[in-house]
Amino acid sequence: MERLFYFLYQYRAFFIFLLLELFCAWLIIRNNQYQGAQFFNSSNRFVAGINSFTNDVREYFSLRETNQFQAEEISRLRNLLERQNQEISLNKGTQINDSTLLNRYEFISAKVVNNSVHRFTNFLTIDKGEDANIQPGMAVISPLGVVGKVKNVSSHYSVVTSLLNIDVMVSAVIKRTGHYGTIQWDGHDPRIAKLNFIPHHVVPQEGDTIVTSGYNAIFPPGINIGTIKKIELSKEALFYDLSVELSQDFRKLSYVSIVKSQLKHEQDSLEQTLEVPNR
C-alpha cells in the first residue's frame, strides 16, 4: 500500500493533467452538439462490437449443447414421423390399438466419441450403451444417411461397425426404378461404395438416389444411402459396376441415431422356424 501511495505521489502531475484532459473532453462533448453526437455514435459502435464478440464466443462454447439438442430433436421427430407412417399404412379405415405396430421403430440419439475411416474394417464408438437399452445388431443412422450396425455394447458405450467396413452389406434399392441390390464398401475411397447385383437389363442413371430397402427388420425403409456417381457395364458381366457417392461423409460424423426395431425379434423367430434341420 505504501508503494502505491508513493507511486501516485511521484506521478501526481501526470494524473492531475490526465484528469483535467478528461474533464475538458467531457465539457466539449457536453456543450457541443456535433462532438457529442460523434462521441456517442463511436461509443455505441464500440459497445456493439464488444457485445457481438462476446455473443460469438458464448455461441461457440455452446455449440456442443446445441448440436446435442438438435440430435435429440431429430430423433424425436423421427419417432413422430415413424408413428405417423405406421398409422397411415396400417390404419386403413380401422382403429389400430397395437402400440408395437404404431411404434415399430424407436430412435435414440448419441454422440460419436471415436471414429476411423482409413482401414478396411472401420468402427466408431458412441456414448450410449446398455444404460440406453442399446443392443448389438441395432441399426445406426445419421441425419444424412446410413452409418452402420451396433457390434458390441458396454454400460455407457457402444462400438458400431461402420458402413466403411468391407464385411458390411446393406440391402438397398434404386428409388427411381425400384430395383434391389446390396451396398458394400470396397475399402478404397471413404466417400464411395458399390451397389452390387443390379442386372444389365436395368437402366440406372447417374444421380439416381439409393435408399434402404426395408428387406430386414434392422434398417427402416427409405433411409438415404447416396447417389449413383459412376456406371460401368462390360459385355460379359451379368451385373452393373455402380459407384455410389455416400450421402454421409464419415470424416465429419458427430451425432447419430440408433434405430431400435420393436418387431425384429418376432421376424427373426418366425424366419428361423423355416430353416430346414440338418439330416
Domain ranges of the chain: 2-61, 107-263
Q: Give the number of other CB atoms < 10 A from CB of residue 177.
A: 13
| pLDDT of res. 203 | 92
Q: In this structure, is the dihedral angle defined by the CA atoms of residues 43, 45, 46 and 48, taken in order, positive or negative?
A: positive
Ranking 23-37, 61-75, 232-246 by mean pLDDT, the lowest is 61-75
CB 186 within 8 A of CB 166: yes
pLDDT of 138 > 70? The answer is: yes
- Nearest Cα to 173, choosing from 196, 147, 149, 150? 196
> What confidence tens digit (pLDDT) does each residue in 147-170 have?
999 999 999 999 999 999 999 999
- Which grid cell is 44? 455505441
CB 259 within 8 A of CB 140: yes
Percent of the chain with pLDDT over 70: 67
| pLDDT of res. 103 | 60
> CA distances (Å), 200 to each of 57, 75, 89, 172, in order?
56, 39, 33, 17
| pLDDT of res. 93 | 46
Average pLDDT over all residues of the chain: 79
Instruction: Summarize the confidence of residues 230-244 as an average pLDDT.
Output: 90
Can you tell me the distance from the alpha carbon of 257 to that of 167, in angstroms, rounded to the nearest whole number?
22
> What confidence tens digit (pLDDT) does each residue in 71-125 have?
666 666 666 565 556 555 544 444 444 444 446 778 888 888 999 999 999 999 9
| pLDDT of res. 202 | 92
Q: φ and ψ at 140, to 5 degrees? A: -130, 130
- H helices, E strands: number in the chain: 6, 12
> What confidence tens digit (pLDDT) does each residue in 255-277 have?
898 988 776 666 666 666 665 55
Q: Which CATH architecture has domain 107-263?
A: Beta Barrel (2.40)
